[in-house]
Structure 1
Amino acid sequence: MPPKIPPKKSEQSEADAIRKLLPRFEDELLARIKDDLPSIINICLQELLKSRSYDTSKLQHSLDAINVSIKELNNDIQTVKHAQQFQSEKFDELMNEITQVQKMAKANAENIRENTALINSYKEYSTQLEGKLEEFDRLSRMEILEFHNIPEQENESTDSLIKELLSLMNIDISENDIDYSFRRRKAKNKETGPIIAKFISRKTRNHIMSSRSNLKAAHNSINIPDVSKVFVVENLTPKALNLLFKAKDQKKKSGYSFLWTRNGKILARKNSDANILVIENEQDLVKMS
């Protein structure tokens, strides 16, 4: 075979240039085909219809039906769009309402926290105030004693009855030592009400309290025929009196030996060797368990 002769440089350059231009020609050709394709198809269809005597009226009827369906479909699409828009607006309104409710709930929660803190502050202040009032009431009764089971008499003088009883206890006082006295209405289960007496001096009152054991050896008198039934106690506040009743119940349950009052306060002791327990509230009753 004869040897291949390599192309010249000029011929090689022309070939490369042609190769580069081919893609551009292909793109232009495809673009023209795309532009001319609808008209070509239309011409072909017309020729086909003419050559085959195609019934254009049926085709037109079908096209009209298709157009009607398309219009109905478009109307349905518009209706759906409107419905979606309406739902979207309602959803936005609902979200706005939820946002407002959340803001209100947050504000209300903050108000509740503030009000709770304020209420707790008032409760604490009320507790402190209640304690101060209780202490004031206790101190105001420090000169007052209650004398129980002294028989009631017609047109009685409670001051004279107190003097007579104290005389039986070997305690000598004058009417000037008594600030006032009166008989309290009796309870349903009692034969007579106690005599409440306030003394001028707390010293006198304390002397009477420390001499109560003298009642055991006291003799009866005309106006006090059974002195053995008489007993003298401190005039407690309603709160302390209620607490004393509960302490008595707890004393029985817990086996405490001693329970008494001193200066309006309640004291308890398990036995003679135990420490004294001060009962100031119901929580202290648990300590007796």
Structure 2
Amino acid sequence: MLHSPTNKSDTELHKHRASRTNDDSVSGRKRKQPEPEWSNAIQALSAEFKNTLNEWRSDLESSINKINDSVTSIKVEMTTITKVTTEIKNDIQSLRSEQNVLRQTVSELETKYNDAMQEIDRLKDSFRFVGDEQSDILRKVSEFSKQNQDYTESKQTISELIAKIDSLEQSARSCNIEICNIPERRNEDLIALITSIGSSINYNLKQSDIISIHRVPHAHRDNDRPKNIIVKLNSRILRDNILSAYRINKGLNTGKLGLSGKSLPIYMHEHLTLKNKILFRQCRDAAKANNYRFLWVKHGTILVREREGTKSFAIRSPEDIAKIKPSQSVSVPGIAK
């Protein structure tokens, strides 16, 4: 802050007045006192000069205060500007870092792009090659389709022939009975055994009714059950009558035949081909799973019935097993043959 100027003029004025007073007092003897108007004018001028100086001092102090306020405001603004400038510098530094990363990324992308273009060129060459190969393949497929059509026709013919052969093979067994679960013995008399079975089921079976009788090996060597007995009879009617008598006289076992050892149940049924035996086992498993009560074979055909009063249906292929499914009614567990 500026100090107000010293009242030098007032001091000098007082000195001047004093000297003048002294001079006047000295020379008063020589001349007269000045006129009162001059003294008043000088005093008025002095007062006016003092007022002017005071106004100058006030204006100067006000200007200095305004300058100080402006300087303070400028300092605050400079602090804000410095802070903003620092943030801008940080942002610029961050942008530079990001720019460097972006440049590196762009460089990597350019490298990958160049590699991709090279790969595309190789793929184009491959496509051209594949196009040529495809034309050759289409030609071969056309030839193969024609051959496949012939093969399909041949396959259908083969399937039909296999079915006919299987049917003929089953027909060749139409007079046969297969007997299961009779223990094997040395020097056993199978004719006497089948005659004894006829007596146990109340059917008079003569030796002349039997064309042949023998045991057959199991399909699997690890099967330790007794080998089954195959009986070939004179006619299918005779076979059906014997099986009917067997079903009527339930409970046939080795004890009734007078065989020693533990009493074992004896099973008799039509002699099926290996294919039909496998199909019968599959049907039996499906029937048990779906609580079907009846499963039997008649004239080489597998028949299934859910329970008493329901309609039976035939199973002639593995695809037909899907027909064995539970109905809405309550089924009786167990399977009757």
TM over 0.5: yes
Whole-angstrom distance in 2 between the partners of 1:153 and 1:217: 19
Mapping 1:243-254, distance limit 5 Å: 243-254=279-290
Q: Which residue of 2 aligns with 1:206?
A: 240
State the shift of 1:274 in Å: 1.4
Tell me the alpha carbon deviations over residues 40-90 of structure 1, each in whole angstroms, 9 at most, x when there is no partner: xxxxxxxxxxxxxxxxxxxxxxxxxxxxxxxxxxxxxxxxxxxxxxxxxxx
Q: Is structure 2 residue 152 aligned with structure 1 residue 142?
A: no
Q: Is structure 2 residue 111 aligned with structure 1 residue 111?
A: no
What is the root-mean-square deviation of aligned Cα atoms in Å? 2.9
Which stretch shifts more, 128-137 or 100-109?
A: 100-109
Whole-angstrom distance in 2 between the partners of 1:191 and 1:275: 35
Amino acid at match of 2:295: L
Q: Which residue of 2 aligns with 1:128?
A: 160
Q: Is structure 2 residue 219 aligned with structure 1 residue 183?
A: no
State the shift of 1:160 in Å: 1.8
State the shift of 1:260 in Å: 0.8
Cα 1:140–1:102 change in 2 (3 A) is: same
State the shift of 1:215 in Å: 4.5
State the shift of 1:284 in Å: 1.0
Larger radius of gyration: 2
Amino acid at match of 1:151: P
* Aligned 8 A contact 1:265 1:279 in 2: yes
Tell me the alpha carbon deviations over residues 207-238 of structure 1, each in whole angstroms, 9 at most, x when there is no partner: 10111132437872434777761121111111
State the shift of 1:286 in Å: 0.8
State the shift of 1:205 in Å: 0.6
Mapping 1:186-197, distance limit 5 Å: 188-197=222-231
Q: Is structure 2 residue 308 aligned with structure 1 residue 272?
A: yes
* Aligned 8 A contact 1:165 1:224 in 2: no
Whole-angstrom distance in 2 between the partners of 1:217 and 1:111: 63
State the shift of 1:137 in Å: 1.1
* Aligned 8 A contact 2:181 2:264 in 1: no
* Aligned 8 A contact 1:266 1:278 in 2: yes
* Aligned 8 A contact 1:215 1:227 in 2: no
- TM-score, normalised with respect to structure 2: 0.52
* Aligned 8 A contact 1:220 1:226 in 2: no
Q: Which residue of 1 aligns with 2:291?
A: 255
Q: Is structure 2 residue 265 aligned with structure 1 residue 229?
A: yes
Tell me the alpha carbon deviations over residues 111-134 of structure 1, each in whole angstroms, 9 at most, x when there is no partner: 111011111111111111111111
Cα 1:108–1:185 change in 2 (3 A) is: closer
Whole-angstrom distance in 2 between the partners of 1:152 and 1:259: 28
Tell me the alpha carbon deviations over residues 96-146 of structure 1, each in whole angstroms, 9 at most, x when there is no partner: x99986664443122111011111111111111111111111111110111
Unpaired stretches in structure 2, ≥5 consecutive residues: 1-128, 326-337
User: Alignment identity in percent?
Assistant: 24
Whole-angstrom distance in 2 between the partners of 1:159 and 1:246: 33
Q: Which residue of 1 aligns with 2:277?
A: 241
Amino acid at match of 2:309: D
Amino acid at match of 1:234: E
- TM-score, normalised with respect to structure 1: 0.60
Q: Is structure 2 residue 318 aligned with structure 1 residue 286?
A: no
Whole-angstrom distance in 1 between the partners of 2:143 and 2:256: 70
Cα 1:173–1:228 change in 2 (3 A) is: same
* Aligned 8 A contact 1:182 1:195 in 2: yes
